[in-house]
Structure 1
């Protein structure tokens, strides 16, 4: 059975935007360092990666933050607690 959901964690060494691409790469069955050509999309086409990383960074003073958006066939949820959930939209 194909895995349709994956959870990742991010931190100062691996920002949320990088962990999202890694997670989608895993679900797509490609290398974790997949290029935009291999994946067929750029994260920037769906969300500003730098803004996302800033919003969910620990210690940003924003309180509890949850950001959800769609990337291709996936629904992505990111929290400022360092957690990412990527789910295939059926």
Structure 2
């Protein structure tokens, strides 16, 4: 999903270890609009997000399990300069 432009659509919710937001993007090959949920955690809760990513990765391709996209947890800085950790996931 590298090089794909994501457009923030709306905030979906917040839990103990982070938040989830809905993003939309156009598919690179067909131009169709797609949705992706992005789970975001701060540095304090990063290990929980990494653990969730590892578990979901073990079930990649399994029906009935929300899929995570990509091969890694993405690290970036937010608007306040704090480290954020994100995983793009299937919007279900």
Q: Which has the higher strand share?
A: 2
Query: Above 0.5 in TM-score?
Result: no
- TM-score normalized by the length of structure 2: 0.28
Q: Which has the larger radius of gyration?
A: 2
- TM-score normalized by the length of structure 1: 0.28
Question: Larger relative contact order (C-alpha < 8 A, sep ≥ 6)?
Answer: 1
